[in-house]
Amino acid sequence: MIQIHYPPSREYAGPVQDRYDVIVIGAGPAGAATGTLLAEQGHSVLILERSTVPRFHIGESLIPETYWSLKRLGLIDQLKASAFPKKFSVQFFSEGMKPSKPFYFDEYNDHESSQTWQVERGDFDKMLVDNAVTKGATVRTEAHVMEVLFDGDQAVGVKVKFSTGEVREIACRVVADASGQSSFLVHRLNLKTPDTRLKKASVWSYFQGARRDPGRDEGATLILQTEGKTSWFWYIPLRNDIVSVGCTGATSYMFSKGVDPESVFQRELGRCPALQERLQGSTRYTEYFATKDYSYISRQAAGPGWVLVGDACGFIDPVYSSGVYLAMKSGEFVADAVDVALRSNDLSQQALGSWYPTYHQGVENFRKLVYAFYTPGFSFGEFFRQHPQYRSHMTDILIGAVFKPGVDEIFQVMGEVLPPEEVTLAG
């Protein structure tokens, strides 16, 4: 069975200074966006990535609002020229078989941003990192940040071990933690709060030769609930006739003691006839991957001299493909706040975290829709039959327009049919 891996890259091996304005931990979409924009704004930036670049990562489906972050980073033309499949819509299947009408994004917004992409994260993330270097950031890969250095409660730098074995302490004015779900500072400062309503687990693999729909539906993301709605599958078409297919459900249901990922996947596939039909005749391309209990939020987004970005600040759930968008959008928010903080020489928690209330509200709009998706007995179809005027609010959230004023009005009405505790703010 083929394993997904990338050869080590040595092209980010430039000299490292003793001091920077900003050190970014992690070179994923959050870290790359933060570092790129701060370098563009004239600040000295060092991005430290523990692994090689490119590297394998899950989270391949981009939602339309990602367009605006990519445009600000100057990457739209590269995406247009890429071979990544174009994504025009998302479609939902209930009870393992019943398809909804596809949500075509351009029916809601007649702009080129309504077409997005399905990306292999190794190549996509490398595109972002290369762009950061082009814009003036210094990047070092295979660089293990061992600790963030503090003077009292003020972050003042990092201790890092490079691939050569060299260990250095590098000073900076701001540490931006974009370390993803490893949440470097969150764990060290004991800030993590698990979302107990979303104790989920996922198992996934990749298949070659699976059936795709024709025409503009070829690159559509499919969300397929299993019979009884105890789990759901994603189906994301990628390049080279490869499809990413994964299953998510409650951790306690998915992984009972002694059950391996392949058994879980096959068990749930047996409860999803629509997906069985699509995978018939295909070949599994990789081993099975699994992760669990990944939904959490940090109790604090910033402190003196430090700030969290992307998944390091919190993660919801994969069902609405919000991860890359929120990573890049938080990178924009953080870069703008850090730029102001550096120029005003105010590196306080208040200054470095000034972006978070606005960002948090947008994240909560995603979170509440996820809660609705998992609520037993709740039906989006029935809800919109009763409240058709809120269909545009749902579409707003599906495309990622979660910062749009008034988009949260849907949850005031949804509270009539959901248990009250399902629509309160988390964390």
**Main-chain phi, psi angles of 233, to 5 degrees:** -110, 145
**Which residue has tokens 């009408």?**
101
What global pTM score does this model have? 0.94
- Whose CA is closest to 178, among 65, 289, 316, 329? 329
**The pair of three-digit structure tokens given for residue 333, joined into one six-digit string:** 């928010």
User: Where do the structural domains in the chain lie, given as residue ranges?
Assistant: 19-59+122-194+297-354, 88-116+200-292, 375-423
Topology, domain 88-116+200-292: D-Amino Acid Oxidase; Chain A, domain 2 (3.30.9)
Instruction: Give the angle subtended at the CA of 122 by the CAs of 118 and 128, to the nearest 5°.
Output: 85
Residues 247 and 233: beta-carbon distance below 8 Å? yes
Confidence of residue 12 (pLDDT cuts 50, 70, 90): confident
Average pLDDT, the chain: 93
Q: Is the pLDDT of residue 426 over 70?
A: no
Region for residue 357 given its phi and psi (left: phi exceeds 0; alpha: psi -120 to 50; beta: otherwise): alpha
Residue 427 has pLDDT above 60, yes or no: no
pLDDT digit string (tens) for 263-273?
999 999 999 99
CA distance 114 to 305: 38
Percent of the chain residues past pLDDT 90, beyond the cut: 86
What pLDDT was estimated at residue 10?
56
pLDDT, tens digit, for every residue of 363-380?
999 999 999 999 988 888
pLDDT-derived band at 358, boundaries 50, 70, 90? very high
Residue 4 pLDDT: 64
Interval 165-184: pLDDT, tens: 999 999 999 999 999 999 99
What is the helix (H) or strand (E) element at residue 377, kind and residue range?
none
pLDDT tens digits, one per residue of 101-130: 899 999 988 999 999 999 999 999 999 999
Name the residue among 185, 173, 181, 174 with its Cα closest to residue 145: 185
- Helix (H) or strand (E) holding 1, with range, is none
Alpha helices in 83-144 (DSSP H): 121-134
Is the separation of the CB atoms in 129 and 249 below 8 Å?
Answer: no
For 61-102, the pLDDT digits (tens) are 999 999 999 999 999 999 999 999 999 999 999 988 889 889
Q: What is the DSSP letter of 376?
A: T
CATH of domain 19-59+122-194+297-354: 3.50.50.60
- According to the model, what pLDDT value does residue 417 have? 65
pLDDT, average across residues 290-305:
95
Q: pLDDT tens digit string along 404-422? A: 999 999 999 998 766 665 4
